């Protein structure tokens, strides 16, 4: 995906558009990766390397998709968080009522299969991908924006459709597992996506940068059913020689 876009333009690192995008992408892909992409985009001494950008786009899609899958009401994030907080309290105080309360509440909400919700989630994914591309140095213009939409709309629609389907299919006792950049790598609970953490040259660079493939675990246990795949700093250090 990243190889088909224009990253030849070096935009102003201090521009409001870029700074705001860095803050937003810090939520979807993690701050270390957002800052790395932002820094690499300003380096005039190196040719464009699509690898870290591709990692950033994967992390962004995974982060956004996980949010859709886990949400009580995709698109209405604050409302969904409020409902989730109430449900968590019910589970903690009167667990016997939790399943019935959840079933009744879900029937009152707009179903994720609704066409309007599908469109909203496509726009949500697209907005976040655009932010990630801006941080990485993508040359934003009306023509480029149209090309992006025309080229990737079908793929984005498919991702949104699958995420919404999982939102309805995932049972109450299962949840998506994402590893964040402030967590420690644990081979019992996650996989090194590029298998570089054990290489002697990068043995000390094992900080987690982001998750590129979601995992699955039981909600009430720490038992991992499917390990998420994570990118370690070593993988990006090897590709970019950037280790700050």
pLDDT tens-place string over residues 18-50: 788 999 999 999 998 999 898 888 876 667 788
Kindly state whether residue 36 falls inside one of the protein's structural domains: yes
Instruction: Provide the terminal-to-terminal Cα distance of the chain, rounded to the nearest Å.
Output: 26
Residue 204 inside a domain? The answer is no
Domain membership of residue 139 (yes or no) is yes
Q: Which residues pair with 175 in a beta bridge?
A: 217
The count of structural domains within the chain is: 1
Count other C-beta atoms under 10 Å from residue 211's C-beta: 26
> Predicted confidence band at 112 (pLDDT cuts at 50, 70, 90)?
low
How far is it, in rounded angstroms, from Cα 211 to Cα 12? 29
pTM of the model as a whole: 0.83
Question: Could you tell me if 144 and 179 are in contact, meaning their C-beta atoms sit under 8 angstroms apart?
Answer: no
Domain that holds residue 130: 2-74+112-171
Please check whether residue 217 lies inside any domain of the structure: no
66 occurs within a structural domain = yes
Q: What value does the mean pLDDT take over residues 187-206?
A: 71
């Amino acid at each position: 995906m990243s190889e088909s876009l224009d990253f030849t333009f070096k935009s102003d690192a201090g521009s409001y558009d870029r700074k705001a995008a860095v803050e937003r992408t810090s939520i979807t892909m993690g701050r270390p990766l957002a800052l790395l992409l932002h820094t690499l985009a300003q380096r005039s001494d190196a040719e464009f390397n699509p690898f870290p950008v591709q990692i950033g786009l994967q992390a962004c899609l995974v982060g956004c998709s996980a949010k859709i899958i886990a949400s009580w009401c995709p698109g209405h994030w604050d409302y969904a968080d409020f409902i989730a907080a109430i449900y968590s309290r019910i589970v903690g105080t009167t667990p016997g009522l939790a399943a019935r309360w959840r079933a009744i509440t879900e029937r009152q909400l707009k179903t994720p299969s609704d066409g309007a919700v599908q469109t909203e989630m496509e726009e949500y994914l697209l907005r976040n991908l655009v932010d990630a591309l801006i941080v990485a140095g993508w040359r934003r213009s009306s023509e480029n924006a149209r090309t992006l939409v025309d080229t990737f709309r079908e793929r984005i629609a498919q991702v949104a459709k699958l995420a919404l389907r999982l939102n309805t299919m995932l049972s109450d006792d299962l949840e998506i597992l994402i590893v964040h950049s402030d967590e420690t790598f644990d081979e019992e609970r996650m996989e090194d996506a590029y298998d570089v953490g054990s290489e002697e040259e990068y043995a000390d660079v094992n900080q987690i940068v982001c998750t590129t493939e979601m995992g699955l675990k039981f909600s009430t246990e720490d038992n991992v059913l499917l390990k998420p795949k994570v990118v370690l700093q070593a993988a990006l250090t090897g590709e970019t020689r950037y280790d700050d």
